[in-house]
Amino acid sequence: MSRKLVYNSFPLFGRSKWKSFWQTALKLSVFDCDRQGRHDAVGHTLLPLANISDKREQHCLPLTPMSTPVMNIGQLLVGLFYSATQSRLAIHVIKARHLRLDPEGHKRNLRPLNKGKEAFDTFVKVTLMCGGQKVKTNRSQVVPEKSDPMYNHKSDFVVPPTFLQESSVVITVIMKGVLGRSLPLGRVTVGPYVELANGTQTQWGRMVNDNRSVVQWRNLYL
């Protein structure tokens, strides 16, 4: 199968409902033609309209990776704060609840020693992404034998306002395994999307627009 695809599509959009042309972005999603559910995208990308000139030009945009939802593998309580004047993005991973292994979602990596366990040694890994590239990663301390671990892990990243629209943060809950082998239990991705399809603001969007810390429980995905 070819990895270079040409769609040659020219959609048109009206501007009647736009709050501001310069604060609007075009979201592009690539789907597998056989799987077109809202969680089945191959990837997404954003093109801020402020980056478009009045001349015809091409833009090469990175796709953010696909996430597959799995029922009831747990939640993370995450706090976000951004200061444009300080170019500071603060991520506070407070705690998790109801962590569990899913027999279907984790079956490829599930080992006999892990089956049937209800509490795990876990830590969180926080990764800043920009333009589809990994910029910086840090991790919390290991919390032993808890299904509702308290992490209280804080991360500060330098993100200038001009890069915020291309930035996102991936938070992964990892179960520490034996002999150094670890298993990702699930992850949460925050940013760069500021609105959902129905127009409501995301946690990232509230962080950007309200200029305050926004704390929210987030479902874990694989």
Mind listing the pLDDT tens digit for each residue in 136-166?
Answer: 999 999 999 888 999 999 999 999 999 998 8
Domain at 74-220, CATH homologous superfamily: C2 domain (2.60.40.150)
For residue 155, the model assigns a pLDDT of 97
Q: What is the phi/psi pair of residue 207, to 5°?
A: -60, -45
- Give pLDDT tens digits for 165-211: 889 999 999 988 765 678 888 888 898 877 776 678 889 999 998 88
- Looking at residue 214, its pLDDT comes to 96
pLDDT: is 12 or 174 the higher one?
174
Say what the pLDDT of residue 169 is. Answer: 94
**Residue-level pLDDT at 7:** 72
Query: Cβ(143)–Cβ(121) under 8 Å?
Result: yes
Note the pLDDT of residue 66.
52
User: Each residue of 36-93: pLDDT tens digit?
Assistant: 454 456 676 767 666 676 777 777 776 765 555 556 789 999 999 999 999 999 999 9
Is residue 222 scored above 70 in pLDDT?
Answer: yes
- CA 11 vs. chain centroid, Å, equals 27
- What per-residue confidence (pLDDT) applies to 154? 97
Q: How far apart are CA 86 and CA 179, in angstroms?
A: 42
Give me the residue spans of the domains in the chain. 1-66, 74-220
User: Mean of the per-residue pLDDT values for the chain?
Assistant: 79
Angle, CA 67 vertex, CA 69 and CA 193 arms, to 5°: 110
Residues 6+ apart with CB under 8 A from 154: 90, 91, 92, 93
* H-helix or E-strand spanning residue 208: helix 203-210
Please determine, for residue 135, whether its predicted confidence score (pLDDT) is greater than 60.
yes
Q: For residue 136, what pLDDT is reported?
A: 95
Q: What is the value of pTM for the model shown?
A: 0.72
DSSP symbol at 50: G
pLDDT band, residue 127 (cuts 50/70/90): very high
